[in-house]
Structure 1
Amino acid sequence: MGELIERHMESMTEEINEMRRTKLFSIEETRLIMKKRKHFECKINGAMKNIQDFKDYIQYEKVILKDIKLRRNKLRIADRKSSIEFKILKRIKYLYEIATQRFSNDFNLCLMYFKFCKESNYNQAASLVIQNMIKHFAHIPEMWKVAAAWHVKKDVNQALSVILKGLTIHQTSETLFSEAIQLELMNRGKDDWTDGSQNKDQLCCQKIQTYVDSIMKNIRSHQFLIKILELLNPYGFTKSVQDKIVKNLMERYPEEADVWHALAQRERNGDHYDEVPGSMHTSNTKFRLDRCFKKYQEGFVMTKSCPDQHRELWSLYLEFLVDLQLHNDNSDMIRNTLLNALRDANDCQMLTERYFVVWVKLLKEETDILDVTEKGLKAIPKSVELWKLKLKYAVIKDNVKNFNQTFKKGVMQLQNKSTPLWMMALRYHILTSSSAVIENIFMSGVQQAEEVGRKMKCEYIQWLVLNKGITEARRKYNDLARTPPFCKELHTIMANLESQELDVNAQELEKVLRLACDQFGGEDSDVWIGLIRCYFEHHKAFESVNSKFDVNELTSRVFREAESKIGHNGPLLADFLGKYDVLKTTEF
């Protein structure tokens, strides 16, 4: 084994010398390359044969190739490629050959080797790999597709022959059937065989019909039949096959929502079922849409016994109409169709929050808007968007009493999800009401639980600074910050407000940052960094108040306290230490 490794290493000498001579790599870099290669050689030639060792070695050589390409472009060195790149490519090919011999049952390895040969223009080797794959991996459908793809550029008939051989083994393979149909469509213009009574399109259509018959017999999948329909759609000469698929879908899968959606969309695109080709109506947009809408209606009847599919079809229909209306906003017909569909869906209790919102936005009359909003809230009382719409309408009407009543009802329904309503109430009353009214809203909001309370605390402090000054904000902050639910954002906002004062009060800022550390120091490294930064930035202010103030001693004490509190959390501690090191090297 040692002699073999040495021979392999010696064979790399010329390549390494050329790397140095062309100055693509330094002497030290080439030494590292040789060291790494020897490591891999020892592994792949050792007693324990491991496929991953081969993959790692191959990947390493590919990385070197990529690096060489980048260096050649950067340094504009084009010579000696045959002594460097070609030798590396041959080495990779050799490694693949040995690996595929030792691990002949590994399909992915063979596939990797084939792709390498194809990309490197080792065409003869690629053909041999394909032959071996057919011999060893006939049980894998993907292999037949890969083999066909290799032959298709040279000979479509050969590719078809490969796929057909695969289909004799894999009679339920969607991949192979799909590939066979695509190859037939590709080959129809090249097929010279004819008996004189049929043209090439008819012959191709007959062949595809044979595949479709096999699919219907062996594969129970409406999604695959829909996929085949989409595949055949651009080819008008396959209409008879398409109609047969449509008929099969309606007979065998009448309760599937996506079947009716696909068939309706075909009608919209002019692919009418049982319609004579060239009919005068096929190019008429209104005619197409009428056929499309009727197909959805037919689907609603057929899916009614399957609630989930019925609901899904309504969703697909409404989404289609919304998109149609969006791109044809001047069409009264489409708008009216969408409105009628929304009413019908509501009667069937099929509307989600999204479509109630769409419905409201389509309406113009006040009574209609209120009626639909009420219907939506009755169906989905926890809908944030619908409560927002109802509040928005009250704002437009500038009805304070109605706004406040709607707001209270919405908050009662939404509870902890009512933050958007509180924000709307603040924006509305800030423009229309006195400071006393606004403060009452804040006082009520900060007493709410979780998300609402935290958000309102932050908004309240900022409002106080702007309207009553920093002193009142400090007083209220001391109450709010110590009242659950605790809010980390409140400390951050208050610290920023203190820092933005023209004459920063370092002692007040310290109180805020200290409280943040007390409440959140075990879960957030930034609060400690903020406190330490405060001492560094404002050490002169602290010294003017306390002559014994020692910034280094104090920051060291805070550092130890932080370590103690977050030491149980390794990643958090590492984050803190990293930020602390950066902070220490910063000059304030």
Structure 2
Amino acid sequence: MSTTFNRDPNYWDTLALNELFETTNSYQNFNIIKCLSSYNAALSIVDTDEMWDKYFITMIKILSDAGITEFHKINLIKESIHCAHKKNKLKPNHYIHLIYNSKGSLTLDILDWAFEAYPNDSLILEVNIKFKLSERDELIAYELFKENANKCSSTLWLIIIEYFSNKPQIWHIFNMAFGDKSVCSDNVKPKVANEYLLWLSKNKSLNDARNAYLLLNTNNSCDASLCKTMVTLETGQQIIDVSKIRQHFTLACMQFGKTDIHLWMERIYFELKYGSLQLASTTYHQALTTLNNEESGQFAEIMKAYSTLNTICNP
């Protein structure tokens, strides 16, 4: 029976937790020492992922409960974490949970260990950059981003763009995304493209945004949402250039018109508001013939649900 228990991670986890929450000890850190000792004994016998996971869950719990001034408690956990790091037992998710639950200088240490252990892990990288930004270490964050931009998610790109939107680095960031030597992955570019147009319109000119829209469509660096962004910029002007907006729709429909029902709906609504009933009807019939068979059928059913709109497009 003893042998069975000795191989059971739940047995050791319960034993260690009992030591942690023992109420007879007046010195709380003694509980932590005994708890860690139990886990170390367990790991010498049951060196499995399950056992390590239980160990780290408890470490995270102790860390999250520790006050920033409880130096001895933090140092006890730091020593245990560093030992696990040296043994290569920490997974990326362990590091991330430890980072978010640690405090003060320990957070910096765990960030360094995480990056040392997993220099190519995108989640570790992003947590590192976000932390640097939150601590106003923007130059370090920026250099980290530049060195690893090709591995960064669209979420991190957008965070970087928002943070540096009014700083000198922003133009270089957009150049990294859409310049001749782009380091932005193809699946990220469409998400970044919308912010690029908005920034150009605000900080350069509407014509710069128009030219970028044309180039992004030509280079297949966008999705249909970019058309909506461009139309929003155009219709926000004091004088609305309807012909330019139609060009934007035409370009988008050439690329996405076979599958994107909502793009055609937006084009019809635009013609109803800024064009004519005839042009709305023409756009409707163009959509029916351009969309793939399945999407065309779905589009027709959607239009039927809007009886007034359907009557306008089918006089």
What's the TM-score bracket when you normalise by the shorter of the two chains? 0.7 to 0.9
Spell out, residue by residue over 1:262-304, the C-alpha distance to the aligned partner (whole angstroms, 9 max, x if none).
332344455xxxxxxxxx9379855654443332122111113
Q: Which residue is equivalent to 1:87?
A: none
In structure 2, the CA distance between the partners of 1:527 and 1:420, relative to structure 1 (3 Å rule), is closer
Q: Does structure 1 residue 568 correspond to structure 2 residue 297?
A: no
Residue 442 of structure 1: how far off its partner (Å): 0.9
Aligned pairs for 1:354-393 (under 5 A) are: 354-360=93-99, 362=102, 364-365=104-105, 369=108, 372-392=110-130
User: Is 1:449–1:485's contact at 8 Å kept on the other side of the alignment?
Assistant: no
Which residue of 319, 326, 343 maps to 2:57? Answer: 319
Counterpart Cα distance in 2 of 1:365 and 1:405: 21
Structure 1 position 511 matched with structure 2 position 247: yes
Q: Which runs of 5+ in 1 are unaligned?
A: 1-247, 271-279, 305-309, 541-550
**SS of the residue 1:451 aligns to:** coil
The partner residue of 2:199 within 463, 467, 484 is: 463
Cα offset, 1:386, TM superposition: 3.0
What SS class does the counterpart of residue 245 from structure 2 fall into? helix
Structure 2 residue aligned with 1:297: 40
Which of 59, 80, 88 pairs up with 1:349? 88
Instruction: Tell me: higher relative CO, structure 1 or 2? Use CA pairs within 8 A at least 6 residues apart.
Output: 2
CA shift, 1:480, in A, is 1.3
Kept after mapping to 2: 8 A contact 1:388/1:421: yes
Tell me, which stretches of 5 or more residues in structure 2 are unaligned?
none
Change over 3 Å in CA distance of 1:472–1:287 after alignment to 2? closer
1:559 aligns with 2:284: yes
Correspondence list, 1:204-215, <5 A: none
Alignment of 1:419-438 (within 5 A): 419-433=154-168, 437-438=169-170
Q: 1:409, 1:348 → 2: CA distance?
A: 28
1:405 corresponds to which of 143, 164, 186 = 143
Deviation at 1:387, TM superposition (A): 2.2
Q: Which residue of 1 aligns with 2:173?
A: 441
| Alignment deviations for residues 449-506 of structure 1 (CA, whole Å, 9 cap, x no partner) | 3222212211110001111232221122111122123422211211222222233222
TM-score (norm 2): 0.81
Cα distance between partner residues in 2 of 1:332 and 1:374? 20
Asked if 1:579 corresponds to 2:302, the answer is: yes
2:226 aligned with 1:494, yes or no? no
Q: What percent identity do the matched residue pairs reach?
A: 19
**What secondary structure is seen at the aligned counterpart in 2 of 1:339?**
helix
Structure 2 residue matching 1:450: 3-state secondary structure: coil
How many Å separate the matches in 2 of 1:296 and 1:469? Answer: 63
Does the 8 A contact of 2:33 with 2:76 survive in 1? Answer: no
Give, in whole Å, the separation in 1 of the partners of 2:238 and 2:261.
Answer: 28
Task: Report runs of 4+ in structure 1 exceeding 6 Å deviation.
Answer: none
Does structure 1 conserve the Cα–Cα contact (< 8 Å) formed by 2:16 and 2:39?
yes
Change beyond 3 A, Cα 1:409–1:565: same
1:188 corresponds in structure 2 to none
Aligned length: 304
| TM-score normalised according to structure 1 size | 0.46
* Pairing of 1:27-426 with structure 2 (within 5 A): 248=1, 250-270=2-22, 281=24, 288-304=31-47, 310-329=48-67, 331-360=70-99, 362=102, 364-365=104-105, 369=108, 372-392=110-130, 395=133, 396=135, 398=137, 400=139, 402-412=140-150, 414=151, 417-426=152-161
- Does the C-alpha gap of structure 1 residues 323 and 575 become closer, same or farther in structure 2, counting only changes over 3 Å? farther
Check the 8 A contact 1:377/1:387 in 2, yes or no.
yes
Q: Structure 1 399/530 Cα, relative in aligned 2: closer, same or farther at 3 Å?
A: closer
1:419-454 deviation line (CA, Å, top 9, x unaligned): 344334434433431xxx532321220243322221
Displacement of 1:379: 1.7
Structure possessing the higher radius of gyration over alpha carbons: 1
Whether the 8 Å contact between 2:257 and 2:290 is mirrored in structure 1 is yes
Query: Aligned pair in 2 of structure 1 residues 260, 385: CA closer, same or farther (>3 Å)?
Result: same
